Amino acid sequence: MIPIANPIIEDEEIQEVLKVLKSGFIAQGPKVAEFEEKFANYIGTEYAVAVSSGTTALHLALLAAGVGEGDEVITTPFSFAATGNSVLYTGAKPVFADIDPLTYNIDPEKIENALTSTTKAILPVHLYGQPADMDPISKIATENDLIVIEDAAQAHGAIYKNKMIGSIGNMGCFSFYPTKNMTTSEGGIVTTNNLAMADKIRILRAHGEKERYKHSILGYNFRMTDISAAIGIAQLKKLDKFNKKRIENAAYLTEHINEIEGIKAPYVMDGIRHVFHQYTIRVENGSRDEWIKFINENGVGTGIHYPIPIYEQELYQNLGFNDKCPETEKAGNEVISVPVHPSLNVEDLEKIVQVLEDDSLKII
Ligand SMILES: Cc1ncc(COP(=O)(O)O)c(C=O)c1O
């Protein structure tokens, strides 16, 4: 089976982890500081604060923005649950705005419709590695005095109109989960140019300690370890190479998939760099489950990102959410992600196309 994701861990990562294990600094130490400096440099922000996951990055970024009970945060329902959950952790309410059906990213017009007097922040997601349309989002934020936190969990190295993703909003939140464009095993980071926000996150990730054993606010243990940071430093060096391969793989798939009846290849906006965390095709007329069965039976892994809008998850239903986002619901029934990761070889790519071609003959 060609897997839907395949983290590339090489000798360099293994050697760097061994060095950390032998150094004695196996929790947060000098490697985390080095990783933060290198990641901030890569994104082009003044600061980067490493944490234990993409989820804790979002949680602490929201807290650093002052989001809490009584506030609303406008976000997309077409994302991993962590996007909505991070808002719930703060006591604020996520308000779900529907997506643009072409890019699958939050539709700025729908953000405008969702604004209320208690809106505090906008949390766009750069889904599948394609930047959300940040110009209109930034404009809405400026006009309404809102914070923008980018959920860049899937978009390391993506670019929107010459600006690195993670450097456009007040803060950017990345995940380094193993399936992502680069990994630290579990891990996350917040990028920002705002010193006060960076400092707040540093304090929140370590039990509210400004000084050892002096706790000024209620914080958490959301630290990254030097073991993870050592993996991250090695992976960051290869990120551009990994992304180049993802983009080439996507170009090959799109060239061939465009000729297959019944399948829509991903749409890529002008003026951006899409880094293809996922390569997500779309099939219509209720045939999605049949396609997936056939594709899997023929040795190609798939994923559905995401089958259930966040507001329809049981947790959210129990909390009384009753949003309706028709484009999200439609996309959730029609999307299929197929492998695009950098360890695919030519034969893998040919096989993916061939299976989709065969499947289209069977279904249409
Ligand atoms: C869009 C999005 N947001 C947030 C997260 C949470 O990241 P993590 O799994 O590192 O907590 C993920 C990934 O899992 C994600 O895809």
pLDDT in tens, 48-76: 999 999 999 999 999 999 999 999 999 99
Find out whether the beta carbon of 114 lies less than 6 Å from any atom of ligand 1. no
**Weakest-pLDDT range from 22-26, 239-243, 308-312, 340-344:** 22-26
Supply φ then ψ for residue 25, to 5 degrees: -85, 90
Find out whether the beta carbon of 125 lies less than 6 Å from any atom of ligand 1. yes
Q: Give me the pLDDT at residue 361, please.
A: 64
Q: Which CATH architecture has domain 11-234?
A: 3-Layer(aba) Sandwich (3.40)
Find out whether the beta carbon of 183 lies less than 6 Å from any atom of ligand 1. no
Average pLDDT over residues 234-249: 98
User: The pTM is what?
Assistant: 0.98
Query: Contact 97/113 with Cβ under 8 angstroms?
Result: yes
Find out whether the beta carbon of 167 lies less than 6 Å from any atom of ligand 1. no
Q: Give me the pLDDT at residue 358, please.
A: 86
Domains of the chain by residue range: 11-234, 239-363
Q: Give me the pLDDT at residue 362, please.
A: 66
Domain 239-363: CATH class, spelled out: alpha beta
Which H, E and C letters describe the chain, residue by residue?
Answer: CECCCCCCCCHHHHHHHHHHHHHCCCCCCHHHHHHHHHHHHHHCCCEEEEECCHHHHHHHHHHHCCCCCCCEEEECCCCCCHHHHHHHHCCCEEEECCECCCCCCECHHHHHHHCCCCEEEEECECHHHCCCCHHHHHHHHHHHCCEEEEECCCCCCCEECCEECCCCCCEEEEECCCCCCCCCCCCEEEEECCHHHHHHHHHHCECCEEECCEECCCCCECCCCHHHHHHHHHHHHHHHHHHHHHHHHHHHHHHHHCCCCCEECCCCCCCEECCCCCEEEEECCCCHHHHHHHHHHCCECCECCCCCCHHHCHHHHHCCCCCCCHHHHHHHHHEEEECCCCCCCHHHHHHHHHHHHHHHHHHC
C-alpha 136 – ligand 1 centre gap (Å): 24
Residue 28 has pLDDT above 70, yes or no: yes
Query: Contact 189/165 with Cβ under 8 angstroms?
Result: no
Find out whether the beta carbon of 249 lies less than 6 Å from any atom of ligand 1. no
- Bridge partners for 96 per DSSP: 75
Other CB atoms within 10 Å distance of the CB of residue 114: 18
Of the pLDDT bands very low, low, confident and very high (cuts 50, 70, 90), residue 93 is very high
Question: What is the separation of C-alpha 252 from the centre of its chain, rounded to a whole number of angstroms?
Answer: 23
Average pLDDT over residues 271-298: 94
Residue 27 has pLDDT above 80, yes or no: yes
Query: CA end-to-end span of the chain, whole Å?
Result: 25
C-alpha 234 – ligand 1 centre gap (Å): 21
Of the pLDDT bands very low, low, confident and very high (cuts 50, 70, 90), residue 168 is very high
Q: Which atom of ligand 1 is nearest to the CA of 55?
A: 11
Average pLDDT over residues 169-193: 98
Average pLDDT over residues 143-162: 98
Find out whether the beta carbon of 151 lies less than 6 Å from any atom of ligand 1. yes
Find out whether the beta carbon of 83 lies less than 6 Å from any atom of ligand 1. yes
Residue 165 has pLDDT above 60, yes or no: yes
Of the pLDDT bands very low, low, confident and very high (cuts 50, 70, 90), residue 284 is confident
Residue 285 has pLDDT above 90, yes or no: no
